Amino acid sequence: MIKETDFPSISALIAFEMTVKKGSMTSAAEELGITQPLVSQRIRALEEYVGGVLLDRSKKPVVATDAGQKFYKEMRNGLGPLLSSLETIRSSLVETKVKVSISAYFGFAFYWLMPRLTELQREFPDYLFEIRPTNSKQDMLLLNSDISFHFCNELGQYKFEKLLIEEEVFPVCSPDLAKKLNLFPGKTLGDLRSLPLLHKDQNDPRWINWFNWASTLGVCISDQPITFCYQNYPLVVEAAIAGQGICLGWGGLLDRQIKEGKLIALNPVLKSPRRGYHICSDYKSTATIGLVVDWFINEVSK
pLDDT value at residue 1: 44
Third-level CATH fold of 97-302: D-Maltodextrin-Binding Protein; domain 2 (3.40.190)
pLDDT value at residue 85: 60
DSSP the chain: ---GGGS--HHHHHHHHHHHHHT-HHHHHHHHTS-HHHHHHHHHHHHHHHTS--EETTSSS-EE-HHHHHHHHHHHHHHHHHHHHHHHHHHHHHHTSEEEEEEEEHHHIIIIIGGGHHHHHHH-TTEEEEEEEES-HHHHHHHT-SEEEEEES----SSEEEEEEEEEEEEEE-HHHHHHTT--TTPBP-B-TTS-B--B-TT-TTS--HHHHHHHHT-B---SPP---BSSHHHHHHHHHTTS-BEEEETTTSHHHHHTTS-EE-B--EEEEEEEEEEEES-TTSHHHHHHHHHHHHHHH-
Q: How far apart are CA 66 and CA 72, in angstroms?
A: 10
CATH 1.10.10.10 domain position(s) in the chain: 4-95
CATH 3.40.190.290 domain position(s) in the chain: 97-302
Burial 197-208 (b: 16+ CB within 10 A, else e): bbbbeeeeeebb
| Structural contact between residues 36 and 25, judged by C-beta atoms closer than 8 angstroms | yes
This prediction has a pTM of 0.65
pLDDT value at residue 3: 47
CATH code for the domain defined by 4-95: 1.10.10.10
The contacts of residue 295 (CB under 8 Å, 6+ apart) are 120, 123, 124
> pLDDT by residue for the chain (302 residues), tens digit each?
444 555 677 788 888 888 888 888 888 888 888 888 888 888 888 888 878 888 888 878 888 888 888 877 777 766 666 666 666 656 655 556 788 999 999 889 989 999 999 999 999 988 989 999 887 888 888 888 999 999 988 778 899 999 999 999 999 999 999 999 999 999 999 999 999 999 987 677 778 999 999 999 999 998 888 878 887 888 899 999 999 999 999 999 999 999 999 999 999 999 988 899 999 999 999 988 999 999 999 999 87
